């Protein structure tokens, strides 16, 4: 891979923040599963929430809890996989990271609205749910454009056998097609 002299390249600069975020998210979600969901099963909360006739029963508790556990488990695994792709500078990392951010937005919004369909959740006024939605939307709003436009990203995560040079002049496309090594333009 060749880049023009002075062009940013490598796992430094602003790319450090998504790396930290991947580690932090995997750890935070793991602790959340252990703190918030494990006690539901360990302490007998599941039958109280999901058995018709109990005071806390609502028909959406079961689907909501399964949705949250499955979604959080998926995002833990996705973060771990993305950590590997990041540090190996795999050319698919930017697309996978953008996809994960988009799926996370959909998951958090879906979880918020599904949760608010349960009266006990809707009346709880939990500021953490709103904070999580704002955090997720802000991360997507910042990092998706960065990964789409950054010279450093385009020069770091390069398909083997292609150049990662990022060229742009007024009126031209911001993306230059990858050129096989040894080929001339």
Cβ atoms of residues 164 and 94 within 8 Å = no
Q: pTM, whole model, 2 decimals?
A: 0.81
Blockwise average pLDDT, block size 10, the chain, 185 residues: 69 93 97 94 93 93 96 98 96 97 97 92 85 95 96 92 56 48 55
Q: What is the per-residue pLDDT for 152? A: 94
For the chain, the domains span 13-156
Q: What is the per-residue pLDDT for 4? A: 61
């Amino acid at each position: 891979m060749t880049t023009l002299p002075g062009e940013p390249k490598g796992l430094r600069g602003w790319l450090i923040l998504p790396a930290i975020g991947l580690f932090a998210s995997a750890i935070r979600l793991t602790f959340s599963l252990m703190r918030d969901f494990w006690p539901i099963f360990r302490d007998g909360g599941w039958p109280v929430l999901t058995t018709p006739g109990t005071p806390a029963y609502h028909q959406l508790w079961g689907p909501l809890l399964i949705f949250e556990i499955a979604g959080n488990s998926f995002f833990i695994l996705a973060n771990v996989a993305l950590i590997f792709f990041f540090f190996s500078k795999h050319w698919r990392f930017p697309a996978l990271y953008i996809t994960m951010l988009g799926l996370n937005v959909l998951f958090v919004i879906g979880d918020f609205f599904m949760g608010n369909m349960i009266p006990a959740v809707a009346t709880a006024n939990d500021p953490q749910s709103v904070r999580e939605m704002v955090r997720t939307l802000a991360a997507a709003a910042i990092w998706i454009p960065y990964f789409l436009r950054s010279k450093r990203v385009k020069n770091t995560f390069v398909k083997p056998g292609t150049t990662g040079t990022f060229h742009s002049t007024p009126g031209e496309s911001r993306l230059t097609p990858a050129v096989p090594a040894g080929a001339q333009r």
